[in-house]
Structure 1
Amino acid sequence: MKKLYLDDLRLIPEGFIGVRSFAEFVNYIETNGLPDFISFDHDLGLQENGFDCAKWLVNHCLDHKVKLSDFAVHSQNPVGKKNIESLLNNFRKQF
């Protein structure tokens, strides 16, 4: 089972592949395909954030006609966490 962990600061948990930015997130998926599970952080420094990654992921799934990976949001940002969860859960309900 491939598990991806998106976070710019935290230690990558054992058993996960870590990516630290939007660019690394996109590059990993374009190179390796969708993982089975993704754990999202929202705040990724000064550039794009975890919500941007989630939006890109939805478009990737639509463009490639693939099922959304299982996911969790481990962010401590309550608004960012809710936004990511809402986007991905709503997308999952429709597709």
Structure 2
Amino acid sequence: MNIYLDDLRDCPEGFTIARTMDEAITLFEQHEVDILSLDHDLGEDNEGNLLPDGYDFVKYFCENGLMAKKIYIHTDNGVGRANMYETLKGAQKRGFIHPDIEIFHYSITVNRYTGE
């Protein structure tokens, strides 16, 4: 399975969408993951509070030793991108996540938002 974690963008062909961190965690619990593509900003709740973001998911991924063959970061948030990338690479160097995971600081897909 390929997972696309993003609250607003269209899900690219060949991926399963996870709109929240909790949905992504559930997919990881139920499936083996080949490609993970990450957004940083994952929106707000009904009261305007920020929901857990892509960086929160990266920390969960590392703390729980999750596995994906490849991870791409498709966010437009430059600071979020750097934080997620450096956290993943650092966790890999320290042995928290598998050394064979390929980690990319760019997108594998075209970011699209049609509002549908």
TM class by shorter-chain length?
0.7 to 0.9
Q: Give distance in 2, aligned partners of 1:74 and 1:9.
A: 12
8 Å contact from structure 1 (residues 58, 68) kept in 2 = no
**Alignment partner, residue 51 of structure 1:** 55
8 Å contact from structure 2 (residues 36, 68) kept in 1 = no
Report 1:16-27 matches (<5 A). Answer: 16-27=15-26
Q: In the TM superposition, what is the alpha-carbon distance from 1:7 to its structure 2 partner?
A: 0.4
**Alignment partner, residue 73 of structure 1:** 73
- TM-score of the two chains, using structure 1 as the length reference: 0.85
| CA distance 1:68–1:36, shift in 2 (3 Å) | closer
Encode CA deviations 1:55-86: one digit per residue, 9 max, x unaligned: 1111121xxxx655420100000000110001
Percent identity reads: 34
Encode CA deviations 1:12-67: one digit per residue, 9 max, x unaligned: 1111111000110111111224x111110000002100000111111121xxxx65
- TM-score of the two chains, using structure 2 as the length reference: 0.71
Return the index of the structure with the highest Cα Rg: 2
**Which consecutive unaligned segments of at least 5 residues does structure 2 have?**
45-50, 96-116
Moved over 4 A (4+): none
| CA distance 1:69–1:60, shift in 2 (3 Å) | farther
**Alignment partner, residue 36 of structure 2:** 38
**Alignment partner, residue 3 of structure 2:** 4
| CA distance 1:67–1:26, shift in 2 (3 Å) | closer
Q: Give distance in 1, aligned partners of 2:94 and 2:14.
A: 30
RMSD: 1.4
| CA distance 1:82–1:16, shift in 2 (3 Å) | same
The amino acid across from 1:39 in the alignment is: S
| Count of residue correspondences | 89
